[in-house]
Chain A
Amino acid sequence: MNDKPEKLIDKKGLRLDGRKADELRPVKLEVGVIANADGSAYIEHGKNKILAAVYGPREVHPKHLALQDRTVMKCRYHMAPFSVQERKSPAPSRREVELSKVIRESLEPAVFMEYYPRTMVDVFIEVLQADGGTRCASITAAALALADSGIPMRDLVVACAAGKVDDTVVLDLMDTEDKLGGADVPVALMPNLNAVTLLQMDGILTHEEFEKAVNMALDGCRQIYAMQKEALKQKYVNVSEETKEEAEE
């Protein structure tokens, strides 16, 4: 990991892993992976591997946190000690506490919180392997887990980042690009309502670059959204196919 590449984008315009500037990493999504959770999902986004589990709505503990007019959503983003190169302390770091809040706030607008007052929804996100862009992959997986749990939702939430590497605006930064590159702009989107629920930026971008990055990220979101929907349906389509085969036999 210590050998820093001189250039992050080669002469042909390809990136370190051979992607074009506006190309996503391969994404794999699966729904209903944890039997004991009310809803769950697993995402492989490039080298990121993340599990999300949803419990509830259920009684609020401790009781004084209950709200009389809406659900309380709790979110825990956590990185496994083995998820990064150097062992990470399992205690929640400042960054994880912040990401938990940011992810929760990007999911809340999609859920009908006011339907079930005096209850709580728990969202647990465990990063098993990290390679840049975990907050976006976490949001994508957590939204799937929420939909899988049967909580009424306005829309799914998809997230994707764009950024600047070697003065070029690129889509979906991986870890090395994020660390050595110029800027990172994660965006979360509710695709059907066309509403952005998360927009962050670190680094420096000009007005034009920022606009280009946001549009690129939104485009990435829509690509992932198609896969997200497919994954959600797949859980039930598999059963239909099995019964069809049975009937044919």
Chain B
Amino acid sequence: MPIFLEKRQLVTPGDLIAEGEYLAGENTFVEDGKIYAARVGIVEYETKRVDVVALKAFYIPRAGDIVIGTITEVGFNGWTVNINSPYIALLRASDVLSRPFKPQKDDLPQVLDAGDLVVAKVVSYDRTHDPQLTVAEPGLGKITRGQIIKITPTKIPRVIGKKGSMISTIKQETGCNIILGLNGVVLITGKTLEDEQLAMRALLKIEQESHTSGLTDRITQMLKEEKTRKEENKNE
């Protein structure tokens, strides 16, 4: 089972990464029994499987994903939602109202208007139908306060970290609540704007340096430094 590259090496599309009994994982393809990379990314060899962790990609919906989207259009019996993906998502009125929708009685723009942000869950999606969303679960629905930032969707796992280590560090150090949309949109709600901005800076740093080693330590260090600086300013 020959492999051709070191672990965690940077590859470009078309690079030969493995041959033989390996399983072609994410962002790879097989031609004549050889496995090649399909995106710019970092190779990860596991015992029986090769993956390329993409450094840049777009979001493809999957049923069950939590996403954050913007309402783009109010329709007859629902809304169209931009979820930062090649495909536009649909949100049904009856789902938001949690009862049958009555066109004579209900005024949709009053419930959700163009430009509103929602935390939603993808109910269904396949390649022939646009994704459908739901907000009928606790924690989902219209966003009323906080900060929004966009990062490359493939880097969301890095933001979460091993068993959630990275995200819990940021939450703890900044005191912010963070909702990660799997489509790369992140909602940060904290007590003060400063806290929120600090969390934003940390997330952007993760996005930029996701492929380097020792990142969790650097982020922790950065957050602690900011904290002490803030306290010093208070004492003055």
Which residues from chain A sit less than 8 Å from chain B, CB to CB? Answer: 38-39, 56-59, 68, 110, 112, 116-119, 147-156, 190-193, 229, 232-233, 236-237, 239-240, 243-244, 246-247
Q: Does A239 contact B212, Cβ atoms closer than 8 Å? A: yes
Interface residues of B in 18-53 (CB under 8 A from A): 27, 29, 31, 36, 38-40
Q: Most chain-B CB neighbours within 10 Å: which of A38, A59, A116, A192? A: A192
Q: Is there a chain A Cβ closer than 8 Å to B10's Cβ?
A: yes
User: Residues of A contacting B54 with CB < 8 Å?
Assistant: 150
Q: A112 — which chain B residues lie within 8 A by C-beta?
A: 29, 38
* A240–B36 CB distance below 8 A: no
List, in ascending order, chain B residues with CB within 8 A of A38's CB. 58
A150 touches which of B56, B88, B214 (Cβ 8 Å)? B56
Asked whether, in the complex, the Cβ of B40 is within 8 Å of the Cβ of A152, the reply is: no
Taken together as a complex, chains A and B put the C-alpha atoms of A117 and B125 apart, in Å, by: 13
A59 touches B40 (CB 8 A): no
- Which one, B16, B27, B38, B87, contacts A154 given CB within 8 A? B38
Which single residue of chain A is at the shortest CB-CB distance from B14?
A: A155
Determine chain A's interface SS by DSSP, over half rule: mixed
Q: CB distance A190 to B14 under 8 Å? A: yes
Question: Of the candidates B13, B29, B87, B214, which one forms a contact with A247 in the assembled complex, judged by CB atoms under 8 Å apart?
Answer: B214
A119-B13 CB under 8 A given contacts A112-B38, A152-B39: no
**A-B residue pairs, 10 tightest by C-beta:** A155-B14, A153-B13, A57-B86, A192-B14, A150-B56, A150-B57, A152-B38, A119-B86, A243-B212, A232-B12
Q: Which residues of B contact A56 (CB under 8 A)?
A: 86
Contacts of A232 in B (CB 8 A): 12, 40
Chain A residues with CB under 8 A of B56: 39, 148-150
Q: Which residues of A contact B55 (CB under 8 A)?
A: 150, 236
Most buried by A among B55, B86, B218: B86
Q: Does chain A have a CB within 8 A of B211?
A: yes
Offer 8 A-B interface pairs, CB within 8 angstroms, sorted by A: A57-B58, A153-B39, A154-B14, A156-B14, A236-B55, A239-B208, A243-B215, A247-B218
Cα A185 to Cα B212 with chains together (Å): 43
Q: Does B65 contact A (CB under 8 A)?
A: no
Residue pair A229, B86 in contact (C-beta under 8 Å): no
Contact (Cβ within 8 A) A156 B13: yes
